[in-house]
Amino acid sequence: MDFAFDDAQEELRRTVRAFLEETAPEAETRRVMETAAGYDPALWRRMGTELGLQGLAIPERHGGAGAGPVEVGLVMEEMGRALLCAPYLASAVQATTTLLHGDDEEARSDLLPGLASGDRVATLALTEDTARWDREGVALTARPQEDGGWLLNGHKTFVLDGAQADVILTIAETPGGIGIFRVDGGAPGLIRTALTTLDPTRRQARLEYRDVPARRLRTAGDAWGLVELVLHHSAAALAAEQVGVASRALETAVEYAKVRHQFGRAIGSFQAVKHLLADVLMEVESARAAAYAALLSAQQGGTDLPAMASLAKSFCSDACLQATQGSIQVHGGIGFTWEHPAHLYFKRAKTSQLLLGDPAHHRELLARTIGV
């Protein structure tokens, strides 16, 4: 595999980093994470119209740029560095990937232009109270109606940006297997409740479905294969974000170790601190390689994507948590205060570790995939 980024990809990284440094500094992150929406709709639209970030993977005929998972991963990494409060993973990755790889061209034509421009936000609702990321965890049911519509009953939880999304792509059990259903955010019978979570920079919600009207997306037979593909793409993208979180945590720790003095010398000169930061650096760079290997496999449609995605998600989860913990340790007492951003990066690392399945889950998937 060739891991070198081309000039266009490097320019994308520089552009996104400069944009986020200007529009999403720490003070803005703290302001936005306390709002009802959990993100800034005006900034979200700027991201779509000025930079085209939400439409990177969307074909040009639907208002996007026609790029791929690697470019999306670059953006996710930069968003992780900035700890951006935005529904990018839910809308531009999970929902968009579902639409792109499904068989419903009508739904693509209707939804993708709005998702690309930032005028709409969509999400994917899969997990329920069991918090399982497999087919056996789907208990919400869909009942067909004579007019061709469907009614959904049950609940979903831990839905990313579920309380704010305009469109909710809901995974449900039907008489003929797993189906994916388009539900409007304001549909009758849908009760959306924001969850109190460890990470205030990424919103989650619990959704109750009480005879909620829905439209089934066209798929070739049972839709669980498509759901699995979306989970692989999402795991690879989240791994890239974790690399961004870990990289920034390491950078701030190194910067502090250079300026904080004890016993007449910078603490970065102490062997224990140097070894800690060196270990974190090794983990971060290894995580970056794993994340982009998975993204490249997704971009090329590789048959090894299930293995690469699980490898990346499990390794990057642990590396990100280690980096953010190490940053707090290097900062000492100040790293535990609310005023310092270290705790926000740690909280993102911890919740991302569990999101889409924890490392143990993905190591089990990896073992099954390679036949161990």
Counting the structural domains of the chain, the total is 3
Mean pLDDT of 98-127: 96
Residues with Cβ < 8 Å from 273, sequence gap 6 or more?
A: 257, 267, 330
Residues 351 and 254 in one domain: yes
Question: Which residue, 88, 120, 152, sits at the end of a domain?
Answer: 120
How many angstroms from the chain centroid is the CA of residue 208? 23
Structure tokens of 193?
A: 């409740």
pLDDT at residue 370, as a whole number: 87
Question: Which residue, 71, 97, 120, sits at the end of a domain?
Answer: 120
Beta bridge partners of 152: 142, 212
Question: Which residue, 101, 120, 139, sits at the end of a domain?
Answer: 120
pLDDT at residue 30, as a whole number: 96
Residues with Cβ < 8 Å from 337, sequence gap 6 or more?
A: 343
Residues 147 and 228 in one domain: no
Q: What pLDDT band is residue 140 in, cutting at 50, 70 and 90?
A: very high
Instruction: Give the DSSP letter of residue 51.
Output: I
Q: What pLDDT band is residue 216 in, cutting at 50, 70 and 90?
A: very high
Residues 363 and 232 in one domain: yes
Residues 237 and 335 in one domain: yes
pLDDT at residue 1, as a whole number: 52
Range of the domain at 279: 224-369
Q: Indicate the range of 19-23, 81-85, 330-334 predicted with least confidence.
A: 330-334
With 70 as the cut, is the pLDDT of residue 2 above it?
A: no
Structure tokens of 270?
A: 């102490």
pLDDT at residue 221, as a whole number: 83
Residue 344 lies in a domain: yes
> CATH number, domain at 36?
1.10.540.10
The more confidently predicted of residues 148 and 341 is 341
Residue 50 lies in a domain: yes
Mean pLDDT computed over every residue of the chain:
95
Residue 159 lies in a domain: yes
Mean pLDDT of 39-43: 96
Residues 153 and 194 in one domain: yes
Residue 296 lies in a domain: yes
pLDDT at residue 335, as a whole number: 87
Residues 115 and 130 in one domain: no
Among 59, 192, 181, 158, residue whose Cα is nearest residue 115: 59
With 80 as the cut, is the pLDDT of residue 55 above it?
A: yes
pLDDT at residue 267, as a whole number: 80
pLDDT tens column, 258-308: 888 888 888 887 889 899 999 999 999 999 999 999 999 999 999 999 999
Residue 2 lies in a domain: no
Residues 230 and 203 in one domain: no
> CATH number, domain at 307?
1.20.140.10
Residues 109 and 148 in one domain: no
Residue 17 lies in a domain: yes
Per the CB < 8 A criterion, the answer to whether 112 and 60 are in contact is: no
> CATH number, domain at 128?
2.40.110.10
